[in-house]
Amino acid sequence: MKVMKYLFCACFIFFSKNPRAEENWHIDVHTFSYHFSKRKNNMDWNQVNLGLGLRREFSDSISLQAGFFRNSIDRWSLYTITDWTPISMGNWKVGAYAGIRTNYEKPVMFAGGALLRWQGERYSTTLRLMPKTCNTCSGLISIEFGWKFNM
């Protein structure tokens, strides 16, 4: 039940304000990940993590994203994260992200790490690096592709 409370709060914040002209919305497609270690009992991780997210940019350096994907232990997960990208070099942004994800070894777990994003006029590519955050987890790198639209 706590999971639903967290997700409700995240969605309330996500959609609470009316969009302004300077805010941008993106659909993000989750694709693949690469894990740096093996699972328990030498099992393989699920490296194909298909899913969708909705990202809302509040400024050049702050955005909030929520969505779902097939996670590394082959379960469906919901997530909400905040991206902070204070370093910008042309179309490249560098920063960090933090938030929550569901349906791993606990119902709700931390999600966070570093990110590198190439942001074009309409399209984006984001690499996320997440360190090992629990005893049964693995550090990983993942990739997602985005498409900007206006509401």
Q: Domain residues of the chain, as ranges?
A: 2-149
Average confidence score pLDDT of the chain: 86
Ordered DSSP codes for 98-143:
EEEEESSSSSEEEEEEEEEEEE-SSEEEEEEEE---STT---EEEE
Q: Is the distance from CB of 63 to CB of 57 less than 8 angstroms?
A: yes
Q: What is the CA radius of gyration of the chain?
A: 15
pLDDT tens-place string over residues 7-59: 444 544 555 555 444 568 999 999 999 999 888 878 889 999 999 999 999 99
Three-class SS state of 75: coil
DSSP 42: G
| CA distance to 32, 99, 102, 117, 126, per residue, from 94 (Å) | 20, 17, 25, 6, 10
Structural domain 2-149, CATH architecture? Beta Barrel (2.40)
pLDDT tens-place string over residues 54-79: 999 999 999 999 999 999 889 999 99
Which of 126 and 138 is assigned the larger pLDDT?
A: 126
